[in-house]
């Protein structure tokens, strides 16, 4: 049995190029236009990390209702993708250990990050799956 050598920049770039025809960049810094979205992939082989990111837009940090919605979505609807804020810009992100990334997890990550970005402002979800909150689970257990 041959052990899986783990993901690295060369393998990731080969996989990304088959999934993102408009891929540009090299050696741990890539970008691609996916319809109307700008998708970035960053890696650091030394620290064994990778990140997929899509900028969604500027956010008013005083909009507490939106910020609560984003935190709630991270808890029950964003799944492996997450919302993140940096310098007033909202991002759809996925972070993972590079070496542990599989082809299937890459496909799921790309789908979730893209879907989360597209669903911002409507369902704030990365898929159709929504986990029940602890309060909802308590109500289910009591019935």
Q: What is the mean pLDDT of residues 116-135?
A: 86
Task: Give percent of the chain with pLDDT exceeding 70.
Answer: 88
pLDDT digits over 89-120, tens only?
Answer: 999 999 999 999 999 999 999 999 999 999 99
**Domain around 45:** 9-142
- Joined together, the tokens standing for residue 53 give 């990111």
Q: CA–CA separation, 72 vs 138, rounded Å?
A: 18
Query: Number of C-alpha atoms within 13 angstroms, CB side, residue 104?
Result: 0
The enclosing domain of 94 has a CATH number of 3.30.1460.10
Q: Is residue 4 part of a domain?
A: no
């Amino acid at each position: 049995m041959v052990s899986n050598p783990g993901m690295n920049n060369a393998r990731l770039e080969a996989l990304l190029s088959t999934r993102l025809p408009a891929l540009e960049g090299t050696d741990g810094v890539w970008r691609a236009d996916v319809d109307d979205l700008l998708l970035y992939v960053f890696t650091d082989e030394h620290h064994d990390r990778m990140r997929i990111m899509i900028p969604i837009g500027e956010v008013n940090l005083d909009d507490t209702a939106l910020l609560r919605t984003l935190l709630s979505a991270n808890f029950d609807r964003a799944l492996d993708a997450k919302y993140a804020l940096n310098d007033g810009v909202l991002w759809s992100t996925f972070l993972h250990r590079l070496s542990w990334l599989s082809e299937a997890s890459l496909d799921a990550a790309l789908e979730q990050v893209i879907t989360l970005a597209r669903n911002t402002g409507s369902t704030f979800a990365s898929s159709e799956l929504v986990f029940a909150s602890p309060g909802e689970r308590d109500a289910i257990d009591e019935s």
